[in-house]
Amino acid sequence: MAFLNEAKGKKRQFFGTDGVRDIANRGMMTPDAAMKLGAAYAVFLAERGAERPKIAVGRDTRLSGEMLQSALMAGIASSGGDAVDLGVIPTPGVSCAAMRGPFSGGAVVSASHNPAEYNGIKFLDGEGFKLTDGDEAEIEEIFLDDARRRRAEPERIGTVRCGEEYRAGYLESLGRLFRGIEDKSYPIVIDAANGAASDFVGPLFSEWGGGVTFMGDVPDGTNINKNVGVTHIEALAAKVCEKGASLGIAYDGDTDRVLMCDGRGRVLDGDVMLWVIGRWLASRGTLGAGVTATVMSNMALEDLLAKENIKVFRCQVGDRYVLDTMKREGARIGGEQSGHIIALDYANTGDGLCSGLLFLKAVADLGEDVSTLADRFERYPQVLRNMKVADKNAVMSSPLVEAAAKEAERLLAGKGRMLLRPSGTEPLVRIFAESRDAELMNRAADIMEEAIGKAVEGR
């Protein structure tokens, strides 16, 4: 498929691909805005039948987190909902609480992999799944409508209470997975990104027999993701080599993503994890229909899984689209190169801690040699070119560009693939090409780049 456009539906003004984000104390990340978002979400749930919405609320380690979480929970209470404060906890920990506890939904104050000066708010449903685009658009409508975003009568004001037991419950669920790993004899390095995983990795990996080196586990409110975590995987790679470890594991700020390094510091990304965990699930008879991957996943993943008679289902970029495809096709695991992995028998959203443990268990059970994975996963060369354009829609609908796409696809037929898609957040059109033949791949990308240039110039 040559063209990928943004999903259709209600247009969202504030919500992006992963909730609402802004610089802390600016725009949509002020206490006023957070309070209104909390109230809007409580009303949203009430209008869908929750007589007195009960919402699990967590945050990551950012300095602005307590301020925004307090405002968010005040908004929930002001609209007649009950907020349960889970404190600092990974996003999947809130999902776990929402799924297993008596909750109507969940909310997380986090900007994930973004720098510390940013923050964000995202919502989950009562099963711990992320909301749909339509649901988020509906919350925006309530947010903007003062009359609809009603305040509760004095006797109906909600409560705010501590939910420490849900943090403990999440850690215990991870502990059960950890105890099932047969081989814990080799040295590893864990990078918590100075984020939400920081308080969890110590207790979770305390019984790792081969020895653990921790890094990025001393958050101070301003160092989340700073030169650590999945966005700075080179720091983990260097530490693995320095310590002579066999494996490194890194998370992002809210711990919904995980990436690995082998003993030589080579990155094992989400594609490699899907290859390993997918085969392990298949060996247990719990894979379902196959593995879901985005259009950006390397074609090597399909080649290697095809040897095991495992089908790969492709979807557009974004974890919610991964989940939608998994549900539609009956696949029990899916994910992205970035390390956002969803394993539905274990979690209802991306869970870096859980996915990392599943990888460790799969490696042990399959008898894998981690040091050979990067060599055996023979990637197709890929190229990604970003072209700045004033009007993405005009470019995507240009006859010149359409004709060039057909020519590029003809060139790559049976030897690779080409994708063209507009950025969801920037004035860019992205050209992606992949082929075993690097020269062919670059020729296809050149054809598209030239056509887009002519379309922009109006030639």
Reported residue count of the chain is 459
The residue type of 232 is H
Residue 444: closest CA among 427, 93, 415, 424:
415
What distances in angstroms separate CA 403 from CA 209, 453, 458, one per listed residue? 59, 14, 15
The neighbouring-strand residues paired with 343 are: 333
**Hunting for tokens 């999903």 — which residue is that?**
7
Cβ neighbour number for residue 385 with a 10 Å cutoff: 16
Residue 291, both tokens: 């593995």
Give the number of other CB atoms < 10 A from CB of residue 342: 27
Q: What are phi and psi of 145, to 5 degrees?
A: -110, 100
Structure tokens at 254: 């809210």
Half-sphere exposure of 26 (CA within 13 A, CB side): 7
- What is the DSSP pairing of strand 212-215 with strand 188-191? parallel
> Is there a contact between 258 and 193 (Cβ–Cβ < 8 Å)?
no
- Tell me the C-alpha to C-alpha distance, in Å, between residue 303 and each of 140, 309, 320, 343, 376: 43, 10, 25, 21, 12
Catalytic residues: 112
